[in-house]
Amino acid sequence: MGDGDAGWRGGAGPAGQEAARNGYWGNDGYSSTASGHGGPGGPGTGEDMSRGRRMPRRMLLAALGGVLVTGTTAAMATVESGHASATSGRRGSAARSPRRHGGTAARHEHARPRAGEAPAKPVFYIDDGPMTVALTIDDGPSPVYTPQILRILREHGVTATFSMVGQNVASFPGIAREVAGAGHAIANHTWSHPNMAVLTPAAMRDQVTRAGDAVHAATGQRPTVFRAPYGAWSPGLLDYCAGQGLTPLDWSVDPRDWARPGVSAIVANILRSTRAGSVILEHDGGGDRSQTVAALKVVVPRLLDEGFRFRVP
């Protein structure tokens, strides 16, 4: 509750509050009515002059009435000012509030936690300087599509995060090593891509542990980032990530490339939705990803031309 709201609630009583709600504070008619109580039309009428003994009482009552009205008017003005300030403050705040994934304040809410801090929620946006975005590639590695995506990224000097499924890493460890060797980050994307939110705690831990072990066996590195399949998070999963030192990474731009909507649709979605701080979701595994590869050939240079810089969450 702001100062303006407190002033409004404690102002001129129920009637005055109702007037404020209806927008009557400061109305010229209301003000002129109030001033008329102690104005020139008050004392000095023929009736008062003909009643000499009653005149002082009338004058006293008029004077008291004027004081009361003056005090009430001042209180109303104070309330009006406080209410207007509070309303103006709220409107100003609303006008300045950034869009959910467009402004610094919004990104800070979900930004990667500082070292030693346990993330309270998944990371949907990055905060790594102006015009920075993150590109994430999920469900690989794939012997067909991952190398094609690596060539695109190498051509444009872009670094991405590959969220790898443990089973695929175990099947294609050489591809995983190629990704790591090119300087890209590898995120733990579970062993078999289940819905983690419905697993028992033991099964959940097993999915994370086995995938991490597979990545370590293939690359010599252990992931520090975890992405839940389907974006299905639970309090238990977030607590486990915090305990393991894993940053829970989600996304804020989903072009639905996994549904193969067409190259132009994927490109249009990404270019329309991406802004500073966005985490873009794409896929190199889980099926035919030729549309994703073709879209990235267009999207990556376009975003670079628009001034975006790619960072790893």
Yes or no: say if 182 and 154 are a contact pair by the CB < 8 Å rule. Answer: yes
The single-letter DSSP state of residue 229 is G
Going by C-alpha positions, the residue among 230, 238, 298 that lies closest to residue 264 is: 298
Going by C-alpha positions, the residue among 173, 220, 176, 169 that lies closest to residue 191 is: 169
Please give the structure tokens belonging to residue 301: 């240079």
Query: How far is Cα 191 from Cα 226, in angstroms, rounded to an integer?
Result: 12
Query: How far is Cα 116 from Cα 187, in angstroms, rounded to an integer?
Result: 19
Q: What are phi and psi of 127, to 5 degrees?
A: -135, 80
Domain range list for the chain: 3-96, 104-310
| CB neighbours of residue 271 within 10 Å | 15
Q: How far is CA 11 from the centre of its chain?
A: 36
Yes or no: say if 185 and 161 are a contact pair by the CB < 8 Å rule. Answer: yes
User: pLDDT truncated to tens, each residue of the chain (313 aa)?
Assistant: 333 333 222 333 333 333 333 332 233 332 333 333 333 333 333 333 333 333 344 444 444 444 444 444 443 444 344 333 333 333 333 322 233 334 433 433 444 445 455 456 999 999 998 999 999 999 999 999 999 999 999 999 999 999 999 999 999 999 999 999 999 999 999 999 999 999 999 999 999 999 999 999 999 999 999 999 999 999 999 999 999 999 999 999 999 999 999 999 999 999 999 999 999 999 999 999 999 999 999 999 999 999 999 999 9
Burial class, 185, CB count within 10 angstroms (exposed 0-12 / middle 13-18 / buried 19+): buried
E runs forming strands in 148-274: 161-164, 185-188, 225-226, 247-248
Cross-strand partners of 187? 163
Q: Is the pTM here over 0.85, yes or no?
A: no
* Residues taking part in catalysis: 138, 283
CATH superfamily of 104-310: Glycoside hydrolase/deacetylase (3.20.20.370)
Yes or no: say if 128 and 122 are a contact pair by the CB < 8 Å rule. Answer: no
Check residue 117 and give its pLDDT: 56
Interval 162-217: pLDDT, tens:
999 999 999 999 999 999 999 999 999 999 999 999 999 999 999 999 999 999 99
Distances (CA, A) of 285 to 12, 149, 167, 189: 67, 11, 12, 12
